Structure 1
Amino acid sequence: MDPRNLYDMSEGGDVGRFPQWSIHETRDLVMIRADLDSAFFETKRNKLLWEVISTKMKERGHNRGVEQCKTKWKNLVTRYKGMEQDGAGQHFPFYNELQEIFTNRMQRLLSMEPRREFSFDDHEDDNDNDKMEKAGGSNKKRNRGESSHKLRETVEKFMKQQMQTEMELMKMYEAREEERRMNEMEWRKRMEELEKEKLRLDEQWREREDQRRVREEARAEKRDTLVTALLNKLRS
């Protein structure tokens, strides 16, 4: 068995029904859930948020559905709460990540509602919607409308941020491609200049060789003429 999956065996709930979660995909789930924690904090109607999480997991290559992600997160929270009580957090691979999530959430709670009691399970379960519906009357409709409006705003804000990030990354990629293209053009231009310079030097060398050969032939012809004249004089 892959040692990265061993810790899953102690988390009852998703073992047996779904494939075991690796350390890598569990860490991705925690990171994505942490990014959206403020959205979960602001609304109890979180079905769409879990769909966003499932979509983001699939974008990272993890085929995990909404219920799988939700069940895994609840198991992680349960495991974290147990480690928190037992003081054995060092044995839980994601203890620090979850501690940071709940610490940030408690800070938000304290800043917005100083007297509100902090709970690990705030906004974690869709069953909270049943409590809201039991309130009845116009307050229920108003709260539901406000929650839906906040959820839409949060999701729209998240998607806009994602689009802006993707656009910035695309601009960076295009800028790098343009820089690479310019560098390549400069390199080709330089190579062409070097090739032309080489051809020019080769031409100059051939001209000098031709001139040297003409001079050598002229000297040889002159020498032969002198030798012939000298021999003729000696014979006479």
Structure 2
Amino acid sequence: QPLSSISLMSRNFYRLEDSCSNQLSLHAPQGKETSDPDEGRQCPFFDELHKIFTERAKNMQRLLLESELRDTISKKKMKRPQQERFSDDLPQNPDEDEEDSDEESIARKSKRSKAYGDKAGVTLDKSKQTTLEGILQSFFQQQHMLDLQWQQMMDRRAQERHLSEQEWRKSMEKLERDRLIMEQTWREKEEQRRIREETRAEKRDALLTALLKKLINDF
């Protein structure tokens, strides 16, 4: 027999073993679906959370690319006066330099974008894990609070039942005492009535005897 059923029976709550097993089966699977990677999408609000973090990662990546593009353009503007100043001393093809600079900039952007994408993916995974852990922790805390409230309610009901039983016992004892007192009073009254009847009978007999004697003496 389960310990929960024994504990309830000790407090005068009689519950069958099947009902305890059914109650346990209702609470046991809750919160376990997120522990399985294949069933991780069964978590409430998983799609909404995934969409939010994905959009956030895309926005951060877009802002980073725009910032790098602005830095590249500003660097090109700073290099152009220097190239015009030293164009006579160092003759070279400006188209080739610009193409090399663009290729290097694109390569740097791709490397940074890849590194940021990897970092954003790791951050997103950590954020999802943290969010799921927070949801599970909140669920278990709420379940613990419900269990405490249920236990307090059961204790309060047990105390109220104990007090009502004590009051019932006291009232029954008072009724029993009243019944005994009434019975004793009735017996005393009956005894007094019997004594009075016997006294009247004796007086009547004595009177009749005296009358008979007088009549006999007269005749």
Q: How high is the TM-score relative to the length of structure 1?
A: 0.45
More helix, by proportion:
2
Q: Which has the larger radius of gyration?
A: 2
